[in-house]
Amino acid sequence: QHKIAFLGQVLSYFFIPFTSAKMSLSDQVFHLATYAHLTYAMYKCNGLGFLTSALYANSHSVVKAVICTVACLQAIDPELLYLLILDGTDRLVLAISE
């Protein structure tokens, strides 16, 4: 029971930033970074017994992309609105290229 609850909590750190409209951007990044750190620690301790390598790699790629995009946009214009749901869309590319 504790293992399932822990897994649910860890996965919520990944999914909630994409589904909750009430979170600030800093809270979203904090949750994603927490997910990345927890899954890294569990992957180092348990290998494929915790997450498949594909799920681990893909989810970490998403976290990295979001954090890099936030850093890039903050450097361009700290007042620019960024929504996680737009990551990877043409609208985001246009905002960065302006």
Q: Parse the chain into domains and list their residue ranges.
A: 2-97
Residue 47 has what pLDDT? 83
- Give the rounded percent of residues in the chain with a pLDDT score beyond 70: 87
pLDDT of residue 8: 92
User: How many CB atoms are located within 10 Å of the residue 50 CB?
Assistant: 19
**In angstroms, rounded to a whole number, what is the distance separating the alpha carbons of residues 60 and 50?**
14
**In whole angstroms, what separates CA 69 from the centre of its chain?**
11
pLDDT for the residue 81 = 80
- In this prediction, residue 89 carries a pLDDT of 55
The pLDDT value given to residue 13: 96
Residues of the chain with pLDDT under 70: 86-98
pTM over 0.85: no
